[in-house]
Structure 1
Amino acid sequence: MTRASLDKQPHEVAAMFDDVAAKYDLTNDVLSLGQARLWRKAVAQAVDARPGERVLDLAAGTATSSMPFAAAGAYTVPCDFSQGMLREGKQRHPWMPFTAGDATKLPFKDGSFDAVTISFGLRNVQDTDAALREMRRVTAPGGRVVICEFSHPTWGPFRTVYEEYLMRALPPVARAVSSSPDAYVYLAESIQTWPDQPALAARLQQAGWAKVAWRNLTGGIVALHRGVRE
């Protein structure tokens, strides 16, 4: 398989994630040096799902990211456009309502959810702004969005070390532990071209989200952006 180019052709990105589905969670834990679990916990706290709420988890993959919301008593819909991820997730959690969907054209009615979240998936969407508008459309008034995405370390020396890791260390590690190492070369390149924290916040505001804010995790390697639909 040729890795997906940075112009994000949807069928190429979907095929890439189909190939890594079986070992995706394990590989993420290894490549993030264990930080991935801490990031998922931060997302769960930010979403703050409550019993009876409806939560849409986009780019949910195998639903590892969805489980905390379901455990909190929320009706949780894991949604992804990778059929391979959905199949793997359904084998692990057959009771969950896995749904195939494109973030730019979501198969849900207006105002269907109290919270919409996406972790490490917005960067892979072909049209970021269309996805942000769609996320707002399916969120009920007063509802919230939480976006967890790779970002840009705020301290210069740390940023230099991090970028060296991305481009030099990550590919050989991926070759050792992943079923599709090309996917992780794409990962490194896509992170470097992704907007920084203020730029993504501005795009959320342009899409109509209110009360937009963010906080950095692990020195800015990851950022949690939040917004409210008024």
Structure 2
Amino acid sequence: MAKTGQRETIRASLEKRPDEVASMFDGVAKRYDLTNTVISGGQDRYWRWATRRALDPRPGERVLDLAAGTGVSTVELRRSGAWCVAADFSQGMLAAGRGRQVPMVAGDAMALPFADDSFDAVTISFGLRNVADIDLAMREMLRVTKPGGRLVICEFSTPVFGPFRTVYMEYLMKALPRVARAVSSNPDAYVYLAESIRAWPAQRQLARRITEAGWSTVKWRNLTGGVVALHRGFNLG
């Protein structure tokens, strides 16, 4: 925790201590959705739509939306007719999304508060990167998914076109915090966001880790030139 002038700021370190990360998201909850739309140029709506299409939830299915924040992604998933629950470890984020009228549960991705084989499908968008032990989290997601069920991870990734990748990384470290400063309730948190994206494994490396966690038939699809990637896997028991 640091102070800039009279303003107290909260920024998690890349060590990803759960209490630090939760506090950071509590601090950005109020204007989180607006900030995401601004800094992504509106692409966040497309990414949510693409995630729903990849997960393919169906009426009557039970779907876990992990690291759901304010529940905006859960509302998108619910368009399918499936029963969808939002889970997040930030109480501030859940409180900010209370008006969305989707079931919300406080829970840690590394110790999910659900029984084995509870869900037909599980998804996590832009949240796995913030978990202290991502391999444990992916095993937990496997545990609560029924045999034959599926997983979709939507996460920032590595642009595939070299010149664009260079420009994008410069934007992350320089422009993104400046843009966030104009719209976010805690712009310093977006310095962590930029650093965590740069430190995140590329598409192939993440697919390997998902497979090692026990998921099968893991494939990925790039969105927006690889700025975001969708990884999908299945629980084949």
Over residues 62-82 of structure 1, what are the superposed CA-to-partner deviations in whole Å (9 max), with x where a residue is unaligned? Answer: 110011222221111100000
Extract unaligned runs of 5+ from structure 2: 1-8
Match of residue 149 from structure 1:
155
Hey, what's the Cα distance between the residues in 1 that align with 2:67 and 2:196? Answer: 16
Question: How many Å apart are 1:207 and its aligned residue?
Answer: 0.4
The SS at the match of 1:111 is coil
Hey, what's the Cα distance between the residues in 1 that align with 2:129 and 2:186? Answer: 19
State yes or no: 1:44 paired with 2:18: no
Over residues 157-181 of structure 1, what are the superposed CA-to-partner deviations in whole Å (9 max), with x where a residue is unaligned? Answer: 0100001100111111111110001
When normalised by structure 2's length, the TM-score is: 0.95
Extract unaligned runs of 5+ from structure 1: none
Hey, what's the Cα distance between the residues in 2 that align with 1:225 and 1:69? Answer: 17
Match of residue 174 from structure 2:
168
Over residues 161-209 of structure 1, what are the superposed CA-to-partner deviations in whole Å (9 max), with x where a residue is unaligned? Answer: 0011001111111111100011111000000000000000000000000
State yes or no: 1:121 paired with 2:127: yes
Aligned length: 228
Amino acid paired to 1:3: R
When normalised by structure 1's length, the TM-score is: 0.98
State yes or no: 1:34 paired with 2:45: no
The two structures, once aligned, show a CA RMSD in angstroms of 0.7
Q: 1:93 is matched with which residue: 72, 75, 100?
A: 100
Question: How many Å apart are 1:13 and its aligned residue?
Answer: 0.5
Amino acid paired to 1:150: F
State yes or no: 1:195 paired with 2:195: no
Hey, what's the Cα distance between the residues in 2 that align with 1:86 and 1:33? Answer: 24
The SS at the match of 1:179 is coil
State yes or no: 1:17 paired with 2:17: no
State yes or no: 1:62 paired with 2:75: no
Aligned residues of 2:69 and 2:94 also touching (Cα < 8 A): yes
Query: Percent of aligned positions with the same letter in both sequences?
Result: 67
Aligned residues of 2:10 and 2:23 also touching (Cα < 8 A): no
The SS at the match of 2:44 is helix
Question: How many Å apart are 1:2 and its aligned residue?
Answer: 3.3
Structure 1 runs (4+) greater than 2 angstroms displaced: none
